[in-house]
Amino acid sequence: MNPSVNRRDVLKSAAAGALTLWVPRLLKAQQPVTKLTNSLSVIDAGGANVTALSTGQGFVLVDSGAPKTGDTVMAALNSLTPNGKVQTLFNTHYHLDQTANNERFAAQGAKIISQKRTREWMATDYWVPAEERYEKARPTAALPTETFLTRGSMKAGNEEIAYGYLLMAHTSGDLYVHFKGANVIAVGDVASPLRDPELDWFTGAWVGGRSDSMDLLLSISNDQTRFVPAYGAVMSKAQFKAERDMMEEVRQRIFDRVRAGEGPQDMLAGGALDGLPRKWKDPLKFLYAAAKGGWAYYDKLGENVV
C-alpha cells in the first residue's frame, strides 16, 4: 500500500469530519431567534436584541434592530408568525442600534412607544462630544408616535405588559418592558453583560441613575425573572443582580473620587475599576463619562458636599 494515499485518505476523512462539525454551527449562527416561551422570542438584529411577543393580533416588539438588519428581523418575525404585522413597537432608548428599523414597522402601521425624552433626542440634531460631530435628527417616520413620562401598561393577547421609565440610567429616556406572564423584562442598555456599560452623560445619564434603575428592576422581578439586555445573552436574575452589585460598587467608588476632586485619568491611575468581577474594554471612556455625570450631579453625591 502506498503510504501517501493512506495519508491523503486520512486527511480527507478528517476534513469531512471537520465539515460535519462546521455545518451545524454555521446553520446555528444563521438562526437569529431564541425562544423564551411559546410566544416570546429574542431576535439577534445585528448584535442588538429585538424582543418579540407573538399574539393573535400581531407582534409587540421591544426595539427595532441595528442599521441594515430590516430584512433579518422581518424574516425572523415571519418564521414566528407568517405575515404577522407589528402592532406595537417599544424603543428602550434613542440609539440607532435600537431604532434603526422604526420606519419599516411604522409603514406597517405600528404604534411606536417611547419615554418622552427618547422622542425628543430622536427629533433633534444633537452634538456627540466623544466624536465631535452632530448626529442628525431622525426622519418623522422613525419617531415614536406615543410617549409617556413615568409608566404605562397594556394587554396584548393573553400577556399583561407593564412599562416604565428608568431615570438617567444609560440615556435620559430609557424604559423597561415587563412581560408579566412570561416573567421577562426587556431592559435595553441598562444591563450590559457583553459590552462596557455606557453612560450618555451629555443627556443626563450617570452611575447613580444606573444603579438606582437596576434596583428598581430588581424590585419588580422574582427569582425566575429573565432579563433581556440590549446586547448579549438573556440574563438570569442572579446574573442581573451580579451586574447590579458590581455597578453599585462602581457608583460608590466614583462618588468618593468625584468628591475628592479626581478626574477620569486620576481615577484610572488610582485603580477605580480594579478588582471588579469584569474587565472594561475601554476603562477610560467609561470613567470619563462617569466623572462627567458625577460632576453634573455633585449635589447628590452625599453628606460631605457643602
Residue numbers of the site for Zn ion (CB under 5 A)? 95, 189
Nearer to Zn ion, 47 or 152 (CB): 47
Beta-bridge partner residues of 113: 90, 146
Instruction: Tell me whether residue 159 or residue 189 sits nearer to Zn ion (CB atom).
Output: 189
β-bridge pairing 174-179 and 151-156: unpaired
Nearer to Zn ion, 189 or 262 (CB): 189
Whether the CB-CB separation of 279 and 194 falls below 8 Å is answered with no
- In whole angstroms, the minimum distance from the beta carbon of 236 to Zn ion comes to 22
Q: How far is the CB of 126 from Zn ion (least distance, A)?
A: 14
Q: How far is the CB of 98 from Zn ion (least distance, A)?
A: 6
Helices 283-296 and 207-219 cross at an angle (nearest 10°) of: 90
What three-state secondary structure class fits 123?
coil
Nearer to Zn ion, 95 or 117 (CB): 95
Q: Are 152 and 184 in contact (CB under 8 A)?
A: no
Q: How far apart are CA 124 and CA 134, in angstroms?
A: 10
- Min. distance of Cβ 230 from Zn ion in angstroms? 6
Q: Quote the least distance from Cβ 229 to Zn ion, whole Å.
A: 10
CA distance 86 to 58: 6
Residue (95 or 210) nearer to Zn ion, CB:
95
